[in-house]
Amino acid sequence: MTFRRYLVLAFVTVSAPLGDSFLDKGMKQVGPVSLTHVTTLFHAVATPWIAGGILLLIGFFASWLTALSWADLTYVLPVTSFANVIVALLAKFWRHENISLSRWFGIFLITAAVGFVMRGPSYTEHERPQPAPASTKSAEGACL
């Protein structure tokens, strides 16, 4: 794996929890939203924290697609599961949420299980077939 690919995976891991935390902060400022009052949804999207969260999640999705273009899902998903730890840390120290001991234990179990899965065989490093050279004429071109 190249350094750029590690950066993509790091961005996937960090952008989702940050985006979700931005959305949480923004929605706490906006208050309750109902689908029956669509204007409140437009107001919510226009707030800086919500807009920043949406941009981070768009960045997450773009980098997620990038990672899936060169790695197997069974590789990318476990690598990015460290985001669970980042979400908990952001919730505890930035959003000042109370996280119970059982939730910390659950996060530890998830992280340990992911570490166990990551030690298994990976088919991410396989070679992809190269396209045929463009110098050969197609059947259509030969008929003209």
Answer whether residue 128 shows pLDDT above 70.
Answer: no
User: Backbone dihedral region of 31: left (phi > 0), alpha (psi from -120 to 50 degrees) or beta?
Assistant: left
Show the tokens assigned to 118: 């990551």
Task: Give the angle subtended at the CA of 107 by the CAs of 28 and 117, to the nearest 5°.
Answer: 130
- Count of Cβ atoms closer than 10 Å to residue 40 Cβ: 15
* C-alpha count within 13 angstroms, C-beta hemisphere, residue 20: 15
Q: What is the CA radius of gyration of the chain?
A: 22
| pLDDT tens for each residue of 49-107 | 999 999 999 999 999 999 999 988 888 888 888 888 899 999 999 999 999 999 999 98
- Count of Cβ atoms closer than 10 Å to residue 104 Cβ: 13
| pLDDT tens for each residue of 94-123 | 999 999 999 999 988 988 888 777 666 666
Measured distance CA(104)–CA(110) in Å, rounded: 10
What H or E segment, with its residue span, contains residue 9? helix 3-30
Residue pair 19/83 in contact (Cβ under 8 Å)? The answer is: no
